[in-house]
Amino acid sequence: MANVMKNLKARKSKQERRGVALIEMALVLLLLLTLTFAILEYGWIFLKSHHIANAARQGARVAARPDATQADVDAAVLAAMTGGGIEDSEYTVVITPADITAVESGDILSVRVEVTYANIELGFPLLPTPVTLGSELSMAKEGP
C-alpha cells in the first residue's frame, strides 16, 4: 500500500512538471514569435525608408539639372519607387519651389517623397509603426 501511494505521488508530480513545462513553453514561444515578427516588420520599415530616400535623391538629382522639367522629376521618382516595389498611387512627391524651370542656377530646390505606411506595411498586429515614411533631399540648381 505504501508503494502504491508513493507511485501515485511520483506520477502526479511528473504530470505537474509536464503541465508547468507546457505553460512555460507557450509563454516563451509567444515572446519569441513577437520578437521575430517585430524584427521582420522593423527590417521592412528600414528597407522601405531606404527606397524612399533613394527616390528623393534621384528626383533631386534630376531636378538639379538645368533642363529639368516636372515630368522628368516625376519619372525619376516613379522609376526609383517602382524599383523598390512601391506603386505610384501609394506616395506623394512635393517639389519646392513648385516650378523648377524658374529656379536660377545656384538656388536650392528640394524634393520630398512621402508614403503612408499603411499602404506598404507587412501587417503584423500589436507592433507600433509609423504613420508615414518620408525623405526630403535638397540640391543646388546646376546651370551655365
Task: Give tens-digit pLDDT for 21-63.
Answer: 889 999 999 999 989 999 999 999 999 999 999 999 999 999 9
8 or 95: which leads in pLDDT? 95
The phi-psi region of residue 110 (left if phi > 0; otherwise alpha if psi is between -120 and 50; otherwise beta) is beta
Three-state secondary structure call for residue 115? strand
The Cα–Cα gap between 112 and 57 comes to: 9
* pTM (two decimals): 0.80
